[in-house]
Structure 1
Amino acid sequence: MTDIAAPRLKTPPTLPAGTLRIVPLGGLGEIGRNMAVFEINGKLLIVDCGVLFPEETQPGVDLILPDFSYIEDRLDDVVGLVLTHGHEDHIGAVPYLLRLKADIPLIGSQLTLALIEAKLQEHRIKPYTLTVSEGQIEQFGPFDCEFVAVNHSIPDALAVFIRTVAGNVLHTGDFKMDQLPLDGRITDLRAFSRLGEEGVDLFMVDSTNADVPGFTTAEREIGPVLENLFAKVKKRIIVASFSSHIHRVQQVLDAAAAHGRHVAFVGRSMVRNMTIAAKLGYLHVPDGILVDIKNVDNLPDDKVVLMSTGSQGEPMAALSRMANGDHRITVGDGDTVILASSLIPGNENAVYRVINGLLKLGADVVHKGNAKVHVSGHAAAGELLYCYNIIKPRNVMPVHGETRHLIANGKLAESTGVPADRVLLTDDGSVVDLSEGKARIVGAVECGLVYVDGSSIGGVTDSDLKDRRVLGEEGFISIITVVNSTTGKIVSGPEIHARGFAENDTVFDEIKPRISAALEEAVTSNRDHTSYQLQQVIRRIVGTWVNKRYRRRPMIIPVVLEA
């Protein structure tokens, strides 16, 4: 396999005429912010534009976006943005891209566009859209795009086959090969086979479950498990899932109807998405089953099901607030909470914290680890092998996954006969050129993490996050001192205050004389000193003492005023 990390690569050469360039700006080495840019003969086509959700090491961050800097000054050359499906890690960053240029055409299925249009309405952006369906072919500048039905954990997902003069690319988006899907819409392997016969020069394929042997369990197997749970529970049931998992919500509605329970949607995104899905016919709601969250207190506990957001332990989501006791829904003894989702890597601690909080409140918690209440939406190794053998791609570029997933997918491709030098393991920012049937990594572009922090976009840096982690884990110490600029004598202070370090500021009494002596020596030995130099003297003295005495590394903020 061609395995070269993007940061070690050089600036790519000028793109020759008739060559197709592919630049992934997200989704490689991570689960989230999926985005890929295709370029040929001066025109750009984008596939997906999603967000990544922050980890605990990124305090205060709301979302993480792809780095648009590569295309920011070329948005007039963008002929379209293809959205493969409606999950946040594929559409969540669209509003931020359209803030830069609002008239970029959005191309996707009916449900996908309905979900993004609702999101854009909140951002007060009215998009230009083109609804497409499986089997449809559309021309966008030099890109001829054919759309193929694929099965995923959200309805209406599409793969896209991109024809260009340089070669053909098949991008699967997220998919699996469930043979008994709830909506009857299977991955179109006949189309995959036909496109393979035409020639797939580059296969960009979902890698999330490439290290999982066999085949992904069918969604249909979850329904009976939920119904059995509903039959046993005597009090309230709370089901947490992704707000876009329409299939799982359908199963919850069906189980609730079978056992005489009413369902209330909890969480703004859950209410919005399910309203859209029901209106378009993707969600079938039994008559009289839905109730407003405001009315659940008037119903007996054994007649209530709450369909909630927060399955990933998001701090502000409904389930986390229930676990913390600051939601209008109070969880108690006998209630059952079902986490009907997979753990996204990086969210483990947050999810287990929510589970522990719910258990302390007396609830029973059912999750994928102790019951079959969720199945993945991604193809496992056996399904990927089928695809490789059907399509027989000339080159393979695994996408959508952490490094371990990409490597596992690359090995699957090799096992089916794809030459090792035709399997490209790339990072975000890697530049791949396709011409004459050969795909090559030719360089890399800058591709960092762009943080959304409140109303700030890109204003927060990794250095800022490091400071936040230090403040959160080690606390901070401030030292204010007034010094006679001529004699070096201390006029006032040092006055020391700490937060998150010590309960009593008297612990600093022993270091104050050393600070005073060091400042006097610094002033008298160097008459041309600056306030910054004196602050550094304090920082060194206090930092060394704190580290030796307490084995801590707090943030130290010295302030020196000269009189």
Structure 2
Amino acid sequence: MSTAFSERLELPPALEPGTLRIIPLGGLGDVGRNMTVLEFDGRLLIVDCGVLFPEDSQPGVDLILPDFDLIADRLEDVEAIILTHGHEDHIGAVPYLLRLRPDIPLVGSRLTLAFLEAKLKEHRIRPVTTVVAEGQQLELGPFDCGFIAVNHSIPDALAVHVSTPAGTVLHTGDFKMDQLPLDGRITDMRAFARLGEAGVDLFMTDSTNAEVPGFTVGEQEIGPVLEAIFARARQKIVVASFSSHVHRVQQVLNAAVNNGRKVAFVGRSMVRNMGIATELGYLQVPPDTVIDAKQIGSLPDEQVVLMCTGSQGEPRAALGRIAKGEHQVSVGTGDIVILASSLIPGNENSVYRVVNGLMALGAEVVHKGSATVHTSGHASAGELLYCYNIVRPKNVMPIHGEVRHLIANGKIAESTGVPRERIVLAQDGHVIDLVDGIATTVGAMPNGYTYVDGGSVGGISEDDLEDRRTLGGEGFISLFAVVSAETGALIVGPEIHIRGMAEDHGVFEEIRPELVAALEKAVAEQAEHRDTYRLQQVMRRVVGRYLSRRLRRRPMILPVVIES
């Protein structure tokens, strides 16, 4: 396989006429922040623009965006952003890109754009949108785009094929091949086959479940399991899911009606999205079933179901606050909490922290590991095998997954006869050129994470995060001294203040004489021109060596020396 995971790539050459360039800016190496840029004849087309949720190693970060620097000075060249579906890891970064150019056209299905427009309203952005449906063609500059129905864990998902004189690219978006979906909308393999007959030069395929053998469990198998849990429940039921999982919410509503319960939506995004889905007809709400969350207290627990956000352990989402006792909703002995979601890689610690919190309160927690209460929205290895055999692409580029997923997907493609050298395993920032039916990695562009921290976008660096990790794990020491501006003699200090360390202040008394001696020596060496910065570094080195030798600690050390 053509892989550059471990290679150091140079900057790509200038784009040759008649060549289609593909640059992934997110989604290759992570499950999230999906974004791909296609370039032909000086024009750009973007497919998806999503966010990645932070891990424990990124303290204080709210969201992670794709790196827009590559296109920041070429926004006027962007024809449109095509959105394959309405999940946050595919649409969540759109508001931040539109801050740079608000009139970039957005293209997507009706539900996808409805979810996005509601989000953009909160950002006070009025977008330019074009609704498309499966079977439709759309000319976007030099890009001839067609849309194909695919089945996923959200309604109205689309694959997109993009044709240029350089060749045709088929981008699956997120998909699976559920043959009995709840909404009857299956992945259109006939359309895939027609494209295959015409010739697909580059097949960009969802890799998330490439390591999972066989076929993904169908959505219809979840309903009876939920029904059984609802039937045995004697108190409150809480179901946590993605706020966009319309199909799962429909199953919860059906189970609630069959067991004489009312459903309250909890969490701003859940309330917003289910309102949109109901208005557009994607969610069928039985009469007198949904109540306002404020009415929960007026009903006995055995008649209540709460549908909330927080299935990935997000600390500020409803379920996370419930687990910490910081929400108006409480759980206790006899209550059942259902996590109707898969674990996104990297969220394991956060999810189990919430599970432990809920169980400590006495609740029974049911999750995918203990019962079939959720199924993935992504094609497993057997489904990918079918796709490759149907499409018969000339080149394959696995997308949407960690490195292990991409490699597993590439091996599946190879097993169906795709030549090893025609399978491109790339990372974010790699540049792939398609010309004369051959896809080749020709270089790489600088590409990193853009962190959202409160109102700051891009203001947090890796060094800042390292400082935060040090503060959280090792503690903080401040050193303060005042020296005479005339003689350099030590007037005050050195004072040592510690935070976040178990050691008593007295431990540092033994280092004080060495610290004073080091300062006096440094001052003597600077008789003609005193440098307070150098004195600060002297204090940092002395204390740093002491802490490493005596305590085996590496806290953040902040030295301050002033002249008086």
- TM-score, with normalisation over the residues of structure 2? 0.99
Structure 2: distance between partners of 1:243 and 1:8: 40
Greater Cα offset, 238-247 or 5-14: 5-14
Contact 1:488 1:521 in 2 (8 A): no
- Residue aligning to 2:257: 257
Structure 1 residue 503, shift from structure 2 partner: 6.0
Structure 1 residue 485, shift from structure 2 partner: 4.4
Gaps of 5+ in 1: none
SS at match of 2:404: helix
Aligned ranges 1:474-493 → 2 under 5 Å: 474-493=474-493
Letter in 2 for 1:144: D
- Residue aligning to 1:406: 406
Structure 2: distance between partners of 1:283 and 1:523: 75
SS at match of 1:247: helix
- Residue aligning to 2:29: 29
- Residue aligning to 1:268: 268
- Residue aligning to 1:328: 328
Q: Measured at CA, do residues 77 and 109 of structure 1 come closer, stay the same or move farther in structure 2, by a change above 3 Å?
A: same
Gaps of 5+ in 2: none
SS at match of 1:154: coil
Structure 1: distance between partners of 2:6 and 2:454: 30
SS at match of 2:160: strand
- Residue aligning to 1:213: 213
Contact 1:487 1:524 in 2 (8 A): no
Letter in 1 for 2:534: Q
Structure 2: distance between partners of 1:193 and 1:385: 14
Structure 1: distance between partners of 2:396 and 2:468: 40
- Residue aligning to 1:547: 548
Structure 2: distance between partners of 1:504 and 1:328: 40
Aligned ranges 1:241-256 → 2 under 5 Å: 241-256=241-256
SS at match of 2:307: strand
Structure 1: distance between partners of 2:74 and 2:17: 17
SS at match of 2:510: coil
Structure 1: distance between partners of 2:133 and 2:52: 27
SS at match of 1:509: helix
Structure 2: distance between partners of 1:23 and 1:5: 15
How many matched pairs? 563
Q: Output one character per residue of 1:82-133: Cα deviation in whole Å (capped at 9) or x when no partner.
A: 0000000000000001100011110000000000000000000000100000
Q: Output one character per residue of 1:353-411: Cα deviation in whole Å (capped at 9) or x when no partner.
A: 00111111000000011111110000000000000000000000000000000000000
Q: Output one character per residue of 1:320-371: Cα deviation in whole Å (capped at 9) or x when no partner.
A: 1111111111111111100000000000001000011111100000001111
Contact 1:485 1:523 in 2 (8 A): no
Letter in 2 for 1:542: V
Structure 1 residue 506, shift from structure 2 partner: 2.7
Structure 2: distance between partners of 1:545 and 1:72: 47
- Residue aligning to 1:191: 191
- Residue aligning to 1:51: 51
Structure 2: distance between partners of 1:230 and 1:50: 35
Contact 1:515 1:541 in 2 (8 A): yes
Letter in 1 for 2:176: K
Structure 1: distance between partners of 2:8 and 2:285: 53
Q: Output one character per residue of 1:154-184: Cα deviation in whole Å (capped at 9) or x when no partner.
A: 0000000111100000000000000000000
Identical counterparts, % of pairs: 67
Structure 1 residue 512, shift from structure 2 partner: 1.5
1:432 aligns with 2:445: no
Letter in 2 for 1:272: R
Q: Measured at CA, do residues 375 and 92 of structure 1 come closer, stay the same or move farther in structure 2, by a change above 3 Å?
A: same
Structure 1: distance between partners of 2:337 and 2:7: 44
Letter in 2 for 1:538: M
Q: Output one character per residue of 1:224-258: Cα deviation in whole Å (capped at 9) or x when no partner.
A: 00000000110000000000111101000000010
Contact 1:310 1:320 in 2 (8 A): yes
Q: Output one character per residue of 1:46-77: Cα deviation in whole Å (capped at 9) or x when no partner.
A: 00000000001111111000111111111111
Q: Measured at CA, do residues 69 and 448 of structure 1 come closer, stay the same or move farther in structure 2, by a change above 3 Å?
A: same
1:156 aligns with 2:156: yes
Structure 2: distance between partners of 1:103 and 1:362: 51
Structure 1 residue 526, shift from structure 2 partner: 2.8
Structure 1: distance between partners of 2:6 and 2:136: 35
Letter in 2 for 1:87: H
SS at match of 1:51: coil
Structure 2: distance between partners of 1:209 and 1:285: 32
- TM-score, with normalisation over the residues of structure 1? 0.99
Structure 2: distance between partners of 1:92 and 1:72: 18
Contact 1:29 1:428 in 2 (8 A): yes
- Residue aligning to 1:498: 498
Aligned ranges 1:148-547 → 2 under 5 Å: 148-502=148-502, 504-527=504-527, 528-547=529-548
